Structure 1
Amino acid sequence: METDDGMVISEGRVKLLKLIAETGSLNKAAKAMELSYQKAWKLVDVSNKSAKHPLIETQVGGNKGGGTVLTPYGKSLIDAFEKINANCWEFLDTEFKKYEL
């Protein structure tokens, strides 16, 4: 899913966002996907700028350090992407059967 401003969300970005939600950390999510922190940040930053609302929020410092959390909009975008993706595969399966491909 993309806009004129750039890529909003893709399967890889969904995976990254889910790992952020799970770990509470962009750094940990990046490591789990074997991405550099810089690459992961760039992916999320482009998505944040391209979407209608931010997908993540960062929290700075404190005794336990900062963190990264998904926004409610980020969670809803993941849900929408997964539903659309599932429906696309069902449609394609049905079409392939029609043409015996």
Structure 2
Amino acid sequence: MAAQYRAFAKLYIGQAAEDNDCAFGAGLIALLNGIQETGSLNRAAKDMHMAYSKAWKLMNSAEEQFGVKLIERDGARGSNLTEEGVRLVAAFNAVNQELTEYATRRLQEELSKRQ
């Protein structure tokens, strides 16, 4: 019986005018998803085994590169995603799912040609 394979691809979102730095990838998405679930940057960072200072720097860097606020910080009350943050997370998740499905389908097509 032939082995079944699944393809994996890494999606990054960057500014259209930039050639090098990508600010938005799976790590930032995981952090934003965690904030959405917990209502806290600190809790999301802890759940990812990430230092709060690193999470803070990652978020600030992404917001600076994109020129938009991704989260609203409310001191002791926690953090929530902005509308733009929610929009980017949803778009990333949808495209990433489609990319994985497409890559897996193409891999299976190529493997079937070589049997």
Query: Shorter chain as normaliser: what TM range?
Result: 0.7 to 0.9
Which of the pair has more CA radius of gyration?
2
- For the residue of structure 2 that corresponds to 1:9, the secondary structure is coil
Answering whether residue 59 of structure 2 is matched by residue 44 of structure 1, we say: yes
CA distance in 1, matches of 2:67, 2:111: 41
Q: Which residue of 2 aligns with 1:58?
A: 73
Q: Which residue of 1 aligns with 2:9?
A: none
Q: TM-score by structure 1 length? A: 0.83
**Which shows bigger deviation, 4-13 or 39-48?**
4-13
Runs of 4 or more above 4 Å deviation: none
Shift of 1:51: 2.0
- For the residue of structure 2 that corresponds to 1:57, the secondary structure is strand
CA distance in 2, matches of 1:8, 1:56: 15
Q: Which amino acid aligns with 1:68?
A: S
- For the residue of structure 1 that corresponds to 2:111, the secondary structure is coil
Q: Which amino acid aligns with 1:2?
A: G
Deviations 1:20-61 (A, max 9, x none): 12222111111111111111011111111122521111113x
Identity of matched residues, % = 33
CA distance in 2, matches of 1:52, 1:58: 16
Q: Which residue of 2 aligns with 1:84?
A: 95
Number of residue-to-residue matches in the alignment? 97
Contiguous gaps of at least 5 residues in structure 2 = 1-12
CA distance in 1, matches of 2:101, 2:36: 28
- For the residue of structure 1 that corresponds to 2:50, the secondary structure is coil
Contiguous gaps of at least 5 residues in structure 1 = none
Q: Which amino acid aligns with 1:87?
A: E
Q: CA RMSD in A?
A: 1.8
1:83 to 1:52, Cα distance in 2 relative to 1, 3 A: farther
